[in-house]
Structure 1
Amino acid sequence: MVSWAITGATRGIGLGFVDNLSVNPKNQVFAIIRSRGTAGPLEELAAKRKNIHIVVTDISDPRKLDQAAAEISKVTAGSLDVLILNAGSAGPETSALPPTLPAKVDCTQIKTNLISNIYVINCFLDLVRNGKEKKIIFISSQSGDVEFTRVTGLSTLLGYSISKAGMNIVTTKFGAELTQDGIKMLSLSPGWVNTDAAVTGDPAIRKFMLNAFRKLDPSVNGPISVDESVTHQLQVIQSLTEANSGKFVTHHGNHDEWF
């Protein structure tokens, strides 16, 4: 039996991981969420699949994270095979915001997407050390890649992009530190995915994003489904070895197929 813990599992990619992984009854899936109040679809899924365990915590609070880790430890006898860091925020909106966005908004994104994820790693590290797979995966974004940003010319979502780029180097640093323990780290871009965070109902904004992305890949037609993204990501996660620990790759397992 393989144990998986996914933060930000209420909706979108996080819920997609829970759905995909829990199909296999040999997987123990821990869906880590902030509140049950907005977890309707997850609750419905958990009612059907007994291998889904919902864990409520606040990833910005190390004390509460320690409690969440202890809760998981009771079920797994003190171990965790794969930790997926998916929780995060894209900001108050996903539209074309300039770099002059108020600094307090940028700082909020950095705290949510960067500092809180470091807390999660540290609080769950002992469990992962005791796991069989020993994998920690950070769900990053192409927005955190320098060359992607340079070619597409996207100046939007400054705080979000900084936080994702920051976590990419955090992943590499932790990978270098933890290789002696056999722990493998990976930053993984999910692609352009059809989620609330990535797709807006405003046709003008969608067109803006599409035109920017086509500067890098003219064949892009639109976002992919959550299921397609998660399926590709799990293939990359399954193939992760110590040889490529600490890298930042796309959902195709390389550094150039972003879509």
Structure 2
Amino acid sequence: MDPNNQVFALIRSLGTAGPLGDLAVQRKNIYIIVTDISDPTKLDGAAAEVSKVTAGSLDVLILNAGSAGPDTAVLPPFAFHGKKEALDLEIGENVKNNLLSNIYTMNSFLHLIRNGTERKMIFISSQSGNLEFTRITGFSTLLGYSVSKAGMNMAVTKFATALAPEGIKTLALSPGWVNTDAAKAVTGDPEIRKVVLDMFHKVDPKVEGPAPIEEAVANMLRVIRNLTEADSGKFLTHHGDEEQWF
């Protein structure tokens, strides 16, 4: 991490900060701000806190918060027939957490981005929100999650077209398959891992498993640094293209 950068981490509770809290103690350029991204008023307050430190500007906004939603994520669409409440919750919770909350965040911090130098807003998406990836792999579950990610990808494009005259760039960015705690919880079971790999091999026969976190972050930062107006509003992979999902 460049010590010259000021980094602001938005979290729901200091009690869940974990290693982030330790890092903030060690590095004085990291600021932790408690907020709720589902509440626009609280987000406005968080933006005001950032503004006090940066004199009213922000170069890059990275939208990394998200959720896979309820336990019904394991069901294919047809399994919700006769289960209206379950379907409403599956779609509704994901749209709230992965779509609306990110739009709230972009709107709350936009005035700071306008005053920044880089002027970039980056949404960390997922290949699950890509139509062609889903069609080829046969990935029929994670209905609400996939729909909400695809919807936010479109929102990113809408922001890009609206803000292009101001020189503000946006991007939906897939991190790839990353060895996060969430990924381990899903693919830690050998049988589930085999099913997932079988699907992923339809897109990339060479993929063997999730990438280390450090490698994934380095790849994404490179794409963010190289983002130009020509690619603003697109949905790119961590390789900076629209094809290499792993």
Shorter-normalised TM range: over 0.9
How far residue 94 of structure 1 moved from its aligned partner, in angstroms, is 9.5
Distance 2:212 2:76 in 1: 28
How far residue 243 of structure 1 moved from its aligned partner, in angstroms, is 1.5
Distance 1:224 1:45 in 2: 23
Q: Is the 8 A contact 1:143 1:164 kept in 2?
A: yes
Distance 1:134 1:143 in 2: 27
Q: Is the 8 A contact 2:90 2:143 kept in 1?
A: no
Q: Is the 8 A contact 1:171 1:186 kept in 2?
A: yes
Distance 2:13 2:189 in 1: 28
Distance 1:258 1:131 in 2: 31
Q: Which deviations, in whole Å up to 9, do the C-alpha atoms of 1:64-94 show, x marking residues without a partner? A: 0000000000000000000000100012459
How far residue 119 of structure 1 moved from its aligned partner, in angstroms, is 0.3
Distance 2:70 2:95 in 1: 13
- The equivalent of 2:83 in structure 1 is none
1:69 equivalent in alignment to 2:11 = no
Q: Which deviations, in whole Å up to 9, do the C-alpha atoms of 1:108-154 show, x marking residues without a partner? A: 01110001100001010000000000000000000000000000000
- The equivalent of 2:214 in structure 1 is 227
AA of the residue aligned to 2:48: A
1:147 equivalent in alignment to 2:125 = no
- The equivalent of 1:254 in structure 2 is 241
Q: Is the 8 A contact 1:73 1:79 kept in 2?
A: yes
Does the C-alpha gap of structure 1 residues 29 and 94 become closer, same or farther in structure 2, counting only changes over 3 Å?
farther
Pick the structure with greater CA Rg: 2
Q: Is the 8 A contact 1:85 1:138 kept in 2?
A: yes
- The equivalent of 2:230 in structure 1 is 243
- The equivalent of 1:190 in structure 2 is 175
Q: Trace 1:71-110 onto structure 2 (pairs within 5 A).
A: 71-92=49-70, 96-99=74-77, 100=79, 102-103=86-87, 104-110=89-95
Selected match of 1:169 from 148, 154, 159? 154
Q: Is the 8 A contact 1:96 1:205 kept in 2?
A: no
AA of the residue aligned to 1:30: F
Secondary structure of the 2:6 match is strand
AA of the residue aligned to 2:20: L
AA of the residue aligned to 1:235: R
Query: Is there any run of 5+ residues in structure 2 with no aligned partner, and where?
Result: 81-85
- The equivalent of 1:5 in structure 2 is none
1:124 equivalent in alignment to 2:109 = yes
Secondary structure of the 1:47 match is helix
- The equivalent of 1:202 in structure 2 is 189
Secondary structure of the 2:199 match is helix
Secondary structure of the 1:89 match is coil
- The equivalent of 1:133 in structure 2 is 118
Distance 2:161 2:204 in 1: 32
Distance 1:170 1:197 in 2: 25
Please tell me the root mean square deviation across aligned C-alpha atoms, in Å. 1.3
Query: Is there any run of 5+ residues in structure 1 with no aligned partner, and where?
Result: 1-22
Further displaced range: 174-183 or 95-104: 95-104
TM-score, scaled to structure 2: 0.93
- The equivalent of 2:31 in structure 1 is 53
How far residue 96 of structure 1 moved from its aligned partner, in angstroms, is 4.0
- The equivalent of 2:14 in structure 1 is 36
Distance 2:237 2:15 in 1: 32
How far residue 198 of structure 1 moved from its aligned partner, in angstroms, is 2.4
Distance 2:100 2:175 in 1: 21
AA of the residue aligned to 1:137: I
Distance 1:91 1:145 in 2: 18
Distance 2:127 2:183 in 1: 12
Does the C-alpha gap of structure 1 residues 220 and 192 become closer, same or farther in structure 2, counting only changes over 3 Å?
same
- Which one has a larger percent helix, Structure 1 or Structure 2? 2
Distance 1:96 1:177 in 2: 36
Q: Is the 8 A contact 2:73 2:90 kept in 1?
A: no
